[in-house]
Chain A
Amino acid sequence: MASVELRNVTKRFGAFTAVEGVDLSIRDRELVVFVGPSGCGKSTLLRMIAGLESITSGELLISGRPANQVAAADRGIAMVFQSYALYPHMTVRENMGFALRMLGTDRAEIERRVRAAAATLQLEGLLDRRPKELSGGQRQRVAIGRAITREPDVFLFDEPLSNLDAGLRAQMRVEIARLHRQLDTTMIYVTHDQVEAMTLAERIVVLNGGRIEQQGAPLELYERPANRFVAGFLGQPRMNFVPLDGTGGQVASWLELLAPPKRSATLGVRPDGFEIYAAPVAGTVPAEVVLVEQLGNVSLVHLRIDGLPDLLTVELRDKSDLRPGDSVQLRPQPRRSHVFDSSGARIDWS
């Protein structure tokens, strides 16, 4: 059981700064997800915690003890890699027991722990197979099993599900969440998939350009994004952004409706935060339907407002009768509208 603390941690590769001045405190038994676009520094951060990457400056503490100079193997962590990194020449049993064997653990104890991990992950029948005889999902389980047998203080997951197909990914996601409850250990999970982040995390850390943009509980980040980046990154389909001025006043009625403190601001509304009307009502703006995507339970309507650079996506419950070319009236729900200033920071007002 362990806490992990990063104090002003920076990583440079030559002139390139991959991670800059990150301060982060991960509590014991917490499941924290690092999420961000590729190249945001999330994997580098994880690898620094693992000890696979040196820390250029700043301090890393594991269970309150400085760990910058501690060898990777001695940090009490286990890592699950994106490519699984199973040893191809060893059976599942040997793969899972390898770290213990290297530590000189007694054979009976290795066997006991391997069996326990195999039972947890439903791998009992596969112990004598080689990795190449396993499916992707099974390999992923073995990789997790290999981490479990070590009984580490901290589990690190580096995009563990990104090589799996969508169905399996959803299933493994549930399994990892269950595992976290069962093992009750600190886990740090890296992903670029915001759905994984939203469903797994107790706390999400959104990274961009090597810095932390925002951290907090998934719904907190979803409902009160600190800036335009976080707002745009979390949520599927993406949030719509509309400049409230400077487009010729097409959305002047929205400006009136919402009355934000600054006029030169960007409005952010998630696709389910709009109302569509057939005829003009207070605060609506005319829009033209460009495309309707019927997803069964919901429909996504793509709309064009004359003069706006981007199409807007609106999510409607159930099927939609709208057709491309239809004219509608559009209005954001004030309670579900976010406003960001020109630097991208959130503006709160009521």
Chain B
Amino acid sequence: MFAGAVGAAAVTAAGELQLLAAGLSASATAVLAAGLWRGRSIVVPWLLLALGAAAAASFADGGDPARSPLFAAGLLAVGELSYWSLETRLSRPVSGGVAARRAALLSGLVAGSIAIGAVLVSVARIDAGGGLALEGAGVAAAVALAAAVLALSRRAA
């Protein structure tokens, strides 16, 4: 349902690319429903990618970039709820507070992602010029982030 809501928000904001956003959102929601029914976690990243593409389509067609932190938080919530559903589909909680704690954690993550998104939107509005050096720095930052995640996951495992 939450995925459907995020998709609907993307379709509403999409302007001329509404049809594309609607197709992406609808297919993503259907795939998620099927994946949750069958217990397949592989569908979740593809669902998030499709919903993200629908949101990106809305920004490409003159959407307000200030709304992107809300979309980002919505996508995160969809992902977290999907994984939550998949992780607990076979088990039944016997001790209290499992759901409440997870809901609180999810709220915190959503709030944090909105805050980070807002900071990023503000930073993006600063005109720092352009050029190959800045783009190279951007690519390097993205690659460094992926490498850091990989290194941390290896160390933790």
**Real complex partners, A and B?**
no
Which chain A residues have a beta carbon within 8 Å of chain B's beta carbons? none
Which chain B residues have a beta carbon within 8 Å of chain A's beta carbons? none
